[in-house]
């Protein structure tokens, strides 16, 4: 189940990756920007329409992304199956409500993003199940991958009726829970941030985020803290603002703490790596490369990270700060959405305090617990390995070959997948991995979930590494 949920969480990254450019275009098309740039008043509305096209259809994009992510080989037929499933679910559930409920109630019901995720699950699993179905010769045209969208549509019809029957209760329950959490004020926001970070090692935080950012509340037909924020809801941003101090100040300060905690003779060796990861977190809000340097070293560090995140969210919410992002809480989103935010300058002051807390807490824990963060390893542990850096100069093709070698060889690799920063692998035996070798060619860490499931933290170039490994394995297999 954990593995299955991980794949869903990873799959949600695909459609979410479309949000940064959509957010920029949507922002440029807002009336205040048009008024400020009157010489572009005939052009900017088109940007706004383009951005709105993405935000208005996110549930469908979620269906597509999850379907592709759950499919065995990410074939386009799985994406089509996800879309067919989503359209079927929405239309059939809508028809049921129209026939059995009053118009006032029916118009308030919407399976929205959760429906998109469910449709993606149906589409992806149908693809894996039916893509090799063989039919009698007179029906052969509808066999194989062509059977996938057909079956996903039929199964969606069967699921849509009971879904429509229970959904009013489910939506009411979710509304009550979310209302209760929102009613907790700053404490509710803090609890959200705390569990968000605790789920990070398993890659399940994306699943947890999706409800709060894309389902919670309603404003002008938009649901979710994120969508309501960009729709102009003056109450949106409670579950996003507190991440800006963490990603713009906290994690860069944590990287600085690792630098000063490193042995003096090794600080130069780790400085470049830590600086690049800190800048990535500050600018873009991509934090996993830093987080995976420490969250598996000690449960204490993970809990400390979660608690400091909760403190950040509690502080921003208590001060009435509201801010939002389309991708993540980095400086780019902070500046782009500055005019939509409430008390955004105060967010910087909170960030300085959170940064100081991260530096003090992590420097103290790392040094007092003598944890082997970058630059603190014993000499016999890292004689030929500089964590996070590439010591061996290789071409891309040679790099991918080395990845295969250090993963235990082609015969040890069962399946290769990736999320935003991690290789996700099914292997024959995780004990065959050469962790030092992987780190020597740029990997930032290895996570062994069990004897056959492994994650290798690569960074933002992970997609190229995954594709390169797949290409080599496919050529060898053929």
Q: How many residues does this entry show for the chain? A: 478
User: What letter would DSSP give residue 380?
Assistant: T
Say if CB 351 and CB 249 are below 8 A apart.
yes
pLDDT of 1 over the 80 cut: no
pLDDT at residue 381, as a whole number: 41
Please state, rounded to an integer, the average pLDDT across all residues of the chain: 83
* Measured distance CA(436)–CA(384) in Å, rounded: 8
Residues 277-309: tens digit of each pLDDT: 888 788 878 777 688 778 767 788 889 999 999
pLDDT of res. 226? 87
Place of tokens 């409500």: 97
Mean pLDDT of the region 238-258: 94
CB 226 within 8 A of CB 324: yes
Q: What is the pLDDT of residues 378-434, one digit of tens each?
A: 543 443 333 344 444 457 888 999 999 999 999 999 988 887 678 889 999 989 999
Q: In the predicted model, is pLDDT for residue 203 greater than 60?
A: no
The CA–CA distances, whole Å, from 180 to 183, 185, 191, 220, 375 equal 5, 9, 12, 22, 45
Is the pLDDT assigned to residue 75 strictly greater than 90? Answer: no
Determine what percent of the chain is predicted with pLDDT higher than 90. Answer: 32
Q: What is the C-alpha separation between 335 and 137, in angstroms, rounded? A: 60
* Exposed/middle/buried for residue 162 (C-beta within 10 Å: 0-12, 13-18, 19+): exposed
- Reply yes or no on whether the pLDDT at 184 is more than 90: no
Can you point out the beta strands (E) in 329-448? 413-418, 422-427, 445-448
Tell me how far apart the alpha carbons of residues 350 and 397 are, in angstroms, rounded to a whole number.
45
Q: 57-66, 144-153, 268-277, 391-400: lowest mean pLDDT where?
A: 391-400
pLDDT above 50: residue 100: yes
What is the pairing mode between strands 445-448 and 453-457?
Answer: antiparallel
The DSSP bridge pattern shows strands 222-223 and 413-418 to be unpaired
For residues 374 and 147, the model is more confident at 147
Q: How far apart are CA 14 and CA 158, in angstroms?
A: 28
Q: Is the pLDDT of residue 83 over 60?
A: yes
How confident is the model at residue 383, as a pLDDT? Answer: 38
Q: What is the pLDDT confidence band of residue 12, given thresholds at 50, 70 and 90?
A: low
**Which positions are catalytic?**
419
**Tens-place pLDDT, residues 349-368:** 999 999 999 999 999 999 99
What residues contact 428, with CB distance under 8 A and at least 6 apart? Answer: 408, 411, 412, 413, 414, 452
The pTM of the full predicted model, rounded to 2 decimals, is 0.57
State the helix-helix crossing angle for 396-406 and 462-477, rounded to 10 degrees: 80
Contact 147, 126 (CB under 8 A): no
More confident residue, 215 or 238: 238
SS3 413: strand
Contact 163, 111 (CB under 8 A): yes
Domains contained in the chain, CATH given: 2-187 (no CATH), 243-368 (no CATH), 396-477 (3.30.1360.60)
Q: Do 33 and 237 form a contact (C-beta atoms < 8 A)?
A: no
- CA-CA distance, 98 to 90, in Å (whole number)? 12
Whether the pLDDT of residue 328 is over 90: the answer is: no
- Cβ of 271: how many Cβ atoms within 10 Å? 15
């Amino acid at each position: 189940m954990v593995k299955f949920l991980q794949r869903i969480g990873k799959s949600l990254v695909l459609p979410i990756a479309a949000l940064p450019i959509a957010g920029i275009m949507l922002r440029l098309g807002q009336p205040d920007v048009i008024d400020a740039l009157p010489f572009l008043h005939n052009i900017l509305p088109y940007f706004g329409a383009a951005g709105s096209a993405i935000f208005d259809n996110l549930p469908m994009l979620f269906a597509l992304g999850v379907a592709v992510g759950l499919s065995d080989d990410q074939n386009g037929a799985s994406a089509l199956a996800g879309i067919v499933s989503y359209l079927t679910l929405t239309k059939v559930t809508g028809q049921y409500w129209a026939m059995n409920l009053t118009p006032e109630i029916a118009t308030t019901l919407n399976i929205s993003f959760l429906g998109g995720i469910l449709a993606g699950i149906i589409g992806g699993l149908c693809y894996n199940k039916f893509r090799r179905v063989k039919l009698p010769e007179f029906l052969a045209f509808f066999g194989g991958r062509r059977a996938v969208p057909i079956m996903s549509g039929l199964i969606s019809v069967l699921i849509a009726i009971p879904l429509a029957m229970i959904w009013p209760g489910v939506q009411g329950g979710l509304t009550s829970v979310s209302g209760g959490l929102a009613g907790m004020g700053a404490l509710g926001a803090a609890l959200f941030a705390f569990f968000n970070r605790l789920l990070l090692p398993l890659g399940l935080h994306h699943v947890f985020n999706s409800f709060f950012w894309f389902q919670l509340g309603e404003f002008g037909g938009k649901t979710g803290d994120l969508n309501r924020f960009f729709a102009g809801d003056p109450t949106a941003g409670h579950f996003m603002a507190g991440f800006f101090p963490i990603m713009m100040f906290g994690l860069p300060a944590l990287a600085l703490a690792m630098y000063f905690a490193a042995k003096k003779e090794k600080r130069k060796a780790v400085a470049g790596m830590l600086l690049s990861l800190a800048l990535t977190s500050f600018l873009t809000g991509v934090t996993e490369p830093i987080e995976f340097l420490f969250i598996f070293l000690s449960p204490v560090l993970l809990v400390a990270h979660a608690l400091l995140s909760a403190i950040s969210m509690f502080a921003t919410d208590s001060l009435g700060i509201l801010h939002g992002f389309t991708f993540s809480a980095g400086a780019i989103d902070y500046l782009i959405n500055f005019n939509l935010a409430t008390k955004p300058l105060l967010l910087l002051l909170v960030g300085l305090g959170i940064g100081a807390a991260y530096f003090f807490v992590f420097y103290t824990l790392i040094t007092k617990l003598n944890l082997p963060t970058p630059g603190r390893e014993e000499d016999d542990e890292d004689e030929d390995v500089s964590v996070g850096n590439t010591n061996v100069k290789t071409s891309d093709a040679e790099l991918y070959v080395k990845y295969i070698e250090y993963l235990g060889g082609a015969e040890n690799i069962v399946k290769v997948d990736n999320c935003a920063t991690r290789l996700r692998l099914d292997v024959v035996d995780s004990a065959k991995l050469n962790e030092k070798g992987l780190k020597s060619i740029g990997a930032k860490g290895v996570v062994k979930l069990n004897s056959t499931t492994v994650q290798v933290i690569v960074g933002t170039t992970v997609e190229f590494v995954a594709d390169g490994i797949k290409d080599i394995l496919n050529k060898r297999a053929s």
